[in-house]
Structure 1
């Protein structure tokens, strides 16, 4: 079972508010078809095996619509859920349940899909020392939610954005003139931040190691070259007693992720965790009183 840090992001409320505003607009004309005082209960059922994620967003949707809605969970985020299993029970005014149903399920299906995909990759590299991490390739406005879902699936998070770590990519190197110059400027302008360089050849790796970086991102290198890169980095670690994070990325899938992990890289970053999303199928079935 995933044991990642499931600390909740601080922007759940605003994220839910935007989602409800998008769907409800100036009023739910559909819910108005139902008597205002009517109450109901409902069960949410998962239609496929998955890892649950998104329950705080689900709850916040109904809390924002009517504080009298109650939600009782049979499972917690990060747990495996089996097909055709009820995962929670919701009770409250029918209008609130109808208005919030789609938005609440949208969060649940999206985030459980991310968690489930992450879990599959984590399972493939089990037994190695390699960690599965996400990238900045997230849905606009949902980055913190998707990063939470990655943690639910047992993965870890890369930098949040452009402000909390430095990743020197090909265009940065081209604009700066060299890897060494780019690293030097990073140290001068962002003291204390983690500095990582994306490299595509072993020659570039040598330059990055000489520049004194904190980590390297080995992009689209075949496994035999990755193994050589890991050996080079390990030798540099021993010689200078300096920790260096070795990360692989580029065209990673469930078929090749284990082979890449077996090269000894510390991390494998996969943009598909948060951009190639297969939503988990949930449904909500209501019973009126």
Structure 2
């Protein structure tokens, strides 16, 4: 890419709003700088010292988060009234090897080192989500089944974490509580039955995507009879999943397996014929990808 990285274009191509990306960058920097400037860097590095740093992967993984990483650099360049030369080498979604070069940035060393931790925190966290997602996608193999995320996300990072899931080859579940409906056991208990809950949501929101959570095959039958076209199969074993797929065939309803899933068992679950596998761990407990920020000698 050009050394003049167009953040708005980069964010737009990723399906992200540039204002949101910039706000996350500002909040992240504020965590480090709320007690004052980087005193260590200011004490050890002269105001006129310049250099170049490389962001490099330390391990195998999948990259995600370049728009917000670039936003951190742009924000600090503006705050320090200086210019940085940024050369983006890799792209979000790329599979990285140990030693893979992600980007290089040149400019005042004080600015570079102040940006280091905020930028790596975001890149590492989001790349960790993308890496975990890619592992599930790889485990499913050629089965016609997609990996989906959940709302079990780090507060404040949902939009970016769900973007990272897409970078890893997964697909997104609902973004929040208002863009799709998910009838769960507590809703059923309060409404009195699956049909009553389904009818109440459908009557008030005729066109919104609607999913029903089922713990048993009898509940699957009730959900199908009510008119559900998407059913979440919670904590069912592979025999139950296959039976649910058979029940849904005449209705052409889509099915999503969730709960108690493991990477080792992903292919077997996908082989039952479900359309989706929902994995909360993609966002709530994915290990951070180890990325380094290395100053050139």
Same-fold call, TM cutoff 0.5 = yes
Q: How many residues align?
A: 278
How do residues 159-198 of structure 1 correspond to structure 2 at under 5 angstroms? 159-198=174-213
Deviations 1:19-64 (A, max 9, x none): 1111111322223222222211111111101111111111110100
Tell me by how many angstroms 1:287 deviates.
3.4
CA RMSD in angstroms comes to: 1.3
How do residues 1-289 of structure 1 correspond to structure 2 at under 5 angstroms? 6-10=14-18, 11-25=20-34, 26-33=36-43, 34-67=45-78, 68-237=83-252, 244-287=253-296
**What secondary structure does 2:287 align onto?**
coil
Distance in 1, matches of 2:202 and 2:15, equals 30
Contact 1:151 1:157 in 2 (8 A): yes
Distance in 2, matches of 1:78 and 1:287, equals 26
Query: Which aligned runs of 4 or more in structure 1 are off by greater than 6 angstroms?
Result: none
Distance in 2, matches of 1:133 and 1:181, equals 27
Tell me by how many angstroms 1:108 deviates.
0.9
TM-score where L is the length of structure 2: 0.91
**What secondary structure does 1:158 align onto?**
coil
Tell me by how many angstroms 1:73 deviates.
1.9
Distance in 1, matches of 2:234 and 2:155, equals 24
Q: Which moved more, 1:83-92 or 1:95-104?
A: 83-92
Distance in 2, matches of 1:45 and 1:202, equals 49
Distance in 2, matches of 1:279 and 1:260, equals 26
TM-score where L is the length of structure 1: 0.93
Distance in 2, matches of 1:60 and 1:114, equals 19
Q: Point out where structure 1 has 5 or more consecutive residues left out of the alignment.
A: 238-243
